[in-house]
């Protein structure tokens, strides 16, 4: 951490600030220029908060030198993390496709979709039981019942499942779920992050709509801090000024995760654009950029879907996209799960 | 709702779509042009979701005509809502200042600040017990203990209190809190919104960092949908590309709330910019734009604050800002609370 | 400028970098920590470019300490700049309202509007002759002819005029214009900035739609660098994710200009929101935040305006807004121009 | 165009609005609901401006049905446009790589780079003579002299050149340039767009930092409207809230251009992120998403580059990236230019 002091600062106040840093166990490198005095703070600065330091009126500016995340930082964990779940490996070149409907609607629907996406080569079944909806008047998911149907589809097809949690109170309900998804709107629901940190389930952490990459990695750090190191990151589009599409897939997120972290990262091309015809090109871009997998919406009957029909592939479309994905994963030298 | 069909759409599929709308109890105004066919849907369209309709492959585009929010919509409730709490009125020209430290740190601190802000003219004491922090390594608030100290300050000074809730599990702890704050990062924590909808406490709903005005009002609609009509909106800055300040106060939010809703709206000039020297000019802008109040960070010792010191006023600064606020509220013909 | 080196950097390469800085006449403060080596560069760093320094592979990060702008920086010019033009003073507490139609359409129209806005108390007549339009099929302004009509209105009413330049080639045409406006889309048209820098006309520099405050001030610095110190900044709304309004007025820009620069800053409430009913509340916020003036669209017949009718006030509405503005300027202790 | 009227609008005013549309040669489809009256306007609506219509006080909302761009719209020109220049074809599956330094610095430099990128397989040499720089104190390019050196490199190597124009006044200087680049900051410099529309040179049109896709295509429409149909679009990253990288490459732009337009689109992975280590993954994503080419910064000595060194590949790095690009273009079935 670099602390730049205001010109002509009162010496006594500067000394008090130096003492404050020393009390925190930090070493100070003091550099006195003509117009500028600089402190370089050495030691564990993850506990320091820029805002706190800025409160000292002798301080002009503060600049972090090292990233505020530690446990998820590649600097301190050079190898790619591989998460093993239900016989699948996620990360480090293993490639997984998670597919299924936006929401679970009935046993017939979820089983039909599960069978189809399994046949097409998906390694996980996704499906929403608890649905975050902008409007209280929109369909909110089948909730507990939806979860049961999803697990029934798992039983019938053998596909492990990934589904979204929306409340700390529901954790027990998710006991048989294979991967728990934390949605974009809850990426900084810190209580839920802490709760998931105490779990040992793999967590699919979706990036918030306007979360910086640093905040995204800090959310993963929360889960790690609780003891759960099974975190899969998911880029799903960010909010910008653009109006033609719902969100802008931030393809840079994929290589940035690979540079700064050891965690697996997958991409959601369905929610990113909100348009069916963008799923294939965005999937291709994600694979080429180095993503460890994809999560894709597929429905047996998109036009009667109870949510987000505009972005769902129908089953033949999904099958075609999967063939393309497999060809591309092979080109990239990635191993498709499951074997 | 306007539905624009694709050119040369299959008649049978169009009929199926029309039937779908009729089944939802909607009346259809059909308009056939040379290249364009348009449906105008009349009736209660709040249950319709644009994404669902876009799933029909005959549909080119969907455009909402009426706002998706009803209960909080000024069209259906012309009078300004006034919320009465602890002898204060909020909304409709009554002006409230809520003030206090970012976080409760000790009894001495919170009581000293409470006395000072009361003396200066604040009508509520704010203070964080549960703190949302980007880093798991930052101070997370005194939690239950902080809440107790806050209520102790209320007991000693008579100032009603406003403090943030971060978990559905904590609602019982907030029984003696006067106004429950829902933070920006939880604005679309729908489970917590529903829980607060079942409460009868006034809710201070902060706008999400990248929430559109429509989403902001829909979050309020969630609380109303649960039966709780005591919602105070709070604009606290939005996330943009700017780097000099933490967030950009969206001053337009104030008149937009007044145009589209009947709810009170206050402004948080402290979190908006994250700079102490911006609190006064942003407060002035907020009053002039028609805000019903302000929520301001004030601390007895900002430089030793355990969070967000950079934006906290010290007590003499707060006193000076309050004098300015009172003079301006009088100019605007607003009644300062409490009387 | 602070330069943070990568761990374990090759000594020889570091020496080469140090030599590079010394060759530029800079003094280096060298600080060697356990894991981090830091250079503090002292001297005139405005010529340094962060990107260039990052190219050295021993460099981890670069952080500017002093602002990259000098001539417009308040640090080196403490007094507010006051620009004198046509008997009006702009800046330092003098308050100006510039008003008129989006575009000049006919002599009758521009003279009628000029007389009305003068009567209401405006100190400048605005009106577009050359119009930047998103579509090549939209009305592009009356161009040279529009400029003549605007100057005719000036002749008949005595109101000085402000109008937008869109091409370096047109500078001669603007000889009798009092203030030349540079539009938001041309804020980083560097050739035009340089040309205006060689002029001695006051320049009304509008902030680009997504220009940071630093870039905004750097655009002013371009004009100063050419020798023209008559620059008036204009905040006119920034582009964000919000959909209810065209742009979000960045009210923070006003105090930030006052903190970092000595230049006058005015606000355009008409283009900011693009809605007539937002002009008054945004004007009020601007005055309260410390703006030195306003530029407002007013038209004798907004619904037949050839552009941007949605945001134009009609003449009685403008008159009402002006009465409100005068009352508020008086409250703030600002002197309305012209006296 | 759909026009939604306010409830209970005055009949006479509505009639006047209808007459206005009829006078413009439009046919009106009138739809009267219980609470809503809707006009559907049929005919050539590209000349209509939403703002103008919103000025009528009987109008509640306006919604465009057809895109405002015509000449560049795929609906009216189904085949991919192929631009032929200097024996290269651009678009429709032909793949071009344009490479070279940020700025031309000397004959030795530009010739060395030209030879190296040609050897590696680039089909065009890029290099800046006129440089848009945020600071007036930064190196502004060698200007006329730089252009001469670039053309000298073309003479020596046979590589056609692409370079940026910054002023209408310079068009004559660009007579021997093969492709004229219009930079992101000038994307809505409408005078320059018109001038380029009168030229017959291929134009590389870079997307503005916060330009919507619609605005981007409308800028191309300006060039078409002047008679020049040789436009190559270039996605180069958009401005968002993210701080780790300079801009966020909007990979969605590639498929969106393909859906809505017939123009070729290339990607600039160097400016997008501003980090050397992102060039390869972003290039891969661009090829996979369907881009018609890439424009990449390569320099013989990035750390001594006079601008943007942080993002330049050195020549061996560029060679490695090109080998990867060729392998991927082959996989995609694209024909690398030149043959």
Out of A54, A56, A189, name the one closest to residue B186 (CB).
Answer: A189
D250 has a chain C CB within 8 A of its CB: no
Out of A27, A42, A65, name the one closest to residue C4 (CB).
Answer: A65
Contacts of A46 in chain B (CB under 8 A): 135, 137
| Residue-wise pLDDT tens digits, A192-224 | 999 999 999 999 999 999 999 999 999 999 999
Residue where the block lists tokens 């502004």: D140
**Contact of C160 with C85, CB cutoff 8 Å:** yes
Task: Report the chain A residue with the minimal C-alpha distance to residue C61.
Answer: A65
Residue where the block lists tokens 């009138």: D30
C243 has a chain A CB within 8 A of its CB: yes
Contact yes or no for D2 and B63 at CB 8 A: yes
Mean model confidence pLDDT for chain B: 93
* Rg of chain C in Å (alpha carbons): 23
- The closest of A30, B28, B334, A329 to D331, measured between CA atoms, is A329
Residue where the block lists tokens 């709490």: B85
Task: Report the chain A residue with the minimal C-alpha distance to residue B215.
Answer: A134
Out of C240, C249, C255, name the one closest to residue B281 (CB).
Answer: C255
A328 has a chain D CB within 8 A of its CB: yes
pLDDT at residue A33, rounded to an integer = 66
pLDDT at residue A271, rounded to an integer = 94
Measured CA to CA, the distance from residue D294 to residue D254 in angstroms comes to 12
Measured CA to CA, the distance from residue D289 to residue A284 in angstroms comes to 6
pLDDT at residue C11, rounded to an integer = 85
pLDDT at residue C305, rounded to an integer = 77
SS3 A179: strand
Residue A80 has pLDDT above 70, yes or no: yes
Please provide the size of chain D in residues. 339
| Structure tokens that stand for D83 in this block | 């631009």
| Phi, then psi, of B284 in degrees rounded to 5 | -60, -45
Residue B35 has pLDDT above 80, yes or no: no
**Mean pLDDT value across residues A103-120:** 97
A-D Cβ pairs (cutoff 8 Å, strict):
111
Please report how many Cα atoms fall inside a 13 Å half-sphere around the Cα of residue D232, on the Cβ side: 32
pLDDT at residue C35, rounded to an integer = 66
Residue C223 has pLDDT above 90, yes or no: yes
Which partners does chain A have (≥3 C-beta pairs < 8 Å)?
Answer: B, C, D
Look at A269-278, A296-305, A323-332, B123-132 and tell me which has the smallest mean pLDDT: A296-305
From first to last of the 339 residues of chain D, give the pLDDT tens digit: 888 888 778 888 888 888 888 888 888 877 776 667 888 887 888 778 887 888 888 888 888 878 899 999 998 999 999 999 999 999 998 999 999 999 999 999 999 999 999 999 999 999 999 999 999 998 899 999 999 999 999 999 999 999 999 999 999 999 999 999 999 999 999 999 999 999 999 999 999 999 999 999 999 999 999 999 999 999 999 999 999 999 999 999 999 999 999 999 999 999 998 999 999 999 999 999 999 999 999 999 888 777 778 899 999 999 999 999 999 999 999 999 986
pLDDT at residue A182, rounded to an integer = 98
Its ipTM equals: 0.94
Q: How confident is the model at residue B28 (pLDDT cuts 50, 70, 90)?
A: confident
Look at A284-293, B44-53, B323-332, C69-78 and tell me which has the smallest mean pLDDT: B44-53
- Of chain A, the end-to-end C-alpha distance in Å amounts to 47
Please provide the size of chain C in residues. 339
Q: How confident is the model at residue A49 (pLDDT cuts 50, 70, 90)?
A: confident
**For residue D157, what are the CA distances in angstroms to D103, D114, D117, D326?**
18, 7, 10, 21
Residue C309 has pLDDT above 70, yes or no: yes
D11-43: buried (b, 16+ CB within 10 Å) or exposed (e) per residue? eebbeebeeebeeeebebbebeeeebbbbbbbb
Alpha-carbon distance D214 to nearest alpha carbon in chain A (angstroms): 8
Contact yes or no for C168 and D167 at CB 8 A: yes
Contact yes or no for C240 and A243 at CB 8 A: no
| Structure tokens that stand for C304 in this block | 């037949």
Contact yes or no for B137 and A46 at CB 8 A: yes
Out of A212, A243, A254, name the one closest to residue D243 (CB).
Answer: A212
A291 has a chain D CB within 8 A of its CB: no
Give the DSSP H or E segment for B282: helix B279-289
| Residue-wise pLDDT tens digits, C3-35 | 888 877 888 888 888 888 898 888 887 777 666
**Which residues 258-287 on chain A approach chain B with CB closer than 8 angstroms?**
274
Which partners does chain C have (≥3 C-beta pairs < 8 Å)?
Answer: A, B, D
D252 has a chain A CB within 8 A of its CB: yes
**Which residues 183-202 on chain D approach chain A with CB closer than 8 angstroms?**
none
**Contact of A88 with A124, CB cutoff 8 Å:** yes
Contacts of B189 in chain A (CB under 8 A): 166, 185-186, 189
Neighbours of A66 (CB within 10 A): 18
Neighbours of C142 (CB within 10 A): 22
Which partners does chain B have (≥3 C-beta pairs < 8 Å)?
Answer: A, C, D
* Range of A38-42, A161-165, C52-56, C273-277 with top mean pLDDT: A161-165
- Domains present along chain D, CATH in parentheses: 2-63 (3.30.70.1140), 74-336 (3.20.20.70)
Contacts of B35 in chain D (CB under 8 A): 42, 66
Angle D234-D235-D241 (CA atoms, 0-180°, nearest 5)? 150
Task: Report the chain D residue with the minimal C-alpha distance to residue B248.
Answer: D241
pLDDT at residue D144, rounded to an integer = 97
Three-state SS annotation for chain C: CEEEECCCCCHHHHHHHHHHHHHCCCEEEEEECCCCEEEEEECCCCCCCHHHHHCCCCEEEEECCCCCCCCCEHHHCCCCCCEEECCEEEECCEEEEEEECCECCCHHHHHHHHHHHHHHCCCEEECECCCCCCCCCCCCCCCHHHHHHHHHHHHHHCCCEEEEECCHHHHHHHCCCCEEEECHHHCCCHHHHHHHHHCCCCEEEECCCCCCHHHHHHHHHHHHHCCCCCEEEEECCECCCCCCCCCECECCHHHHHHHHECCCEEECHHHHHCCHHHHHHHHHHHHHHCCCEEEEEEECCHHHCCCCHHHCEEHHHHHHHHHHHHHHHHHHCCEECCC
Contacts of B32 in chain D (CB under 8 A): 29
Look at A12-21, A72-81, A250-259, D73-82 and tell me which has the smallest mean pLDDT: A12-21
Residue B100 has pLDDT above 80, yes or no: yes
Measured CA to CA, the distance from residue A227 to residue D170 in angstroms comes to 63
pLDDT at residue A229, rounded to an integer = 97
| Structure tokens that stand for A215 in this block | 């905040």
DSSP state of D131: -
What are the beta bridge partners of residue B43? none
Out of B35, B42, B241, name the one closest to residue D239 (CB).
Answer: B241
Look at A323-337, C90-104, C293-307, C310-324 and tell me which has the smallest mean pLDDT: C293-307
Higher pLDDT: A170 or A27? It is A170
Angle B40-B41-B47 (CA atoms, 0-180°, nearest 5)? 145
Torsion-angle region of A300 (φ positive above 0: left; ψ -120 to 50: alpha; else: beta): alpha
pLDDT at residue D33, rounded to an integer = 65
Measured CA to CA, the distance from residue D65 to residue D42 in angstroms comes to 10
Higher pLDDT: B180 or D58? It is B180
């Amino acid at each position: 951490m670099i602390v730049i002091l205001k010109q002509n600062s009162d010496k006594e106040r500067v000394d008090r600030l130096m003492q404050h840093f020393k009390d925190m166990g930090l070493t100070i490198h003091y550099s006195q220029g003509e117009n500028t005095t600089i402190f370089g703070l050495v030691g564990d600065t993850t506990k320091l908060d820029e805002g706190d330091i800025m409160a000292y009126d002798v301080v002009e500016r503060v600049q972090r030198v090292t990233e505020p995340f530690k446990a998820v930082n590649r600097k301190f964990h050079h190898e790619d993390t591989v998460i093993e779940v239900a016989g699948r490996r996620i990360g480090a070149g293993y490639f997984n496709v998670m597919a299924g409907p936006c929401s679970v609607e009935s046993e017939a629907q979820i089983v039909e979709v599960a069978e189809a996406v399994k046949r097409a080569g998906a390694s996980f079944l996704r499906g929403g039981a608890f649905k975050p909806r902008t409007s209280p008047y929109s369909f909110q998911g089948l909730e507990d019942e939806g979860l049961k149907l999803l697990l029934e589809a798992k039983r019938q097809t053998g596909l492990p499942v990934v589904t979204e949690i929306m409340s700390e109170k529901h954790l027990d309900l998710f006991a048989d779920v294979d991967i728990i998804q934390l949605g974009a709107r809850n990426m900084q629901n810190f209580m839920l992050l802490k709760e998931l940190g105490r779990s040992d389930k793999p967590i699919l952490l979706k990036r918030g709509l306007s979360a910086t990459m640093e905040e995204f990695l800090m959310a993963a750090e929360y889960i790690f801090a609780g003891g759960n190191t099974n975190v899969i990151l998911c880029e799903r589009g960010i909010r910008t000024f653009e109006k033609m599409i719902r969100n802008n897939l931030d393809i840079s997120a994929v290589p940035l995760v690979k540079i700064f972290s050891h965690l697996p990262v997958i991409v959601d091309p369905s929610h990113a654009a909100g348009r069916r015809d963008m799923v294939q090109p965005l999937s291709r871009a994600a694979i080429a950029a180095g993503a460890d997998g994809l999560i894709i919406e597929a429905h047996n009957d998109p036009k009667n879907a109870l949510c987000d029909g505009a972005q769902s592939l129908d089953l033949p479309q999904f099958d075609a996209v999967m063939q393309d994905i497999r060809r591309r994963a092979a080109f990239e030298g990635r191993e498709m799960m499951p074997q």
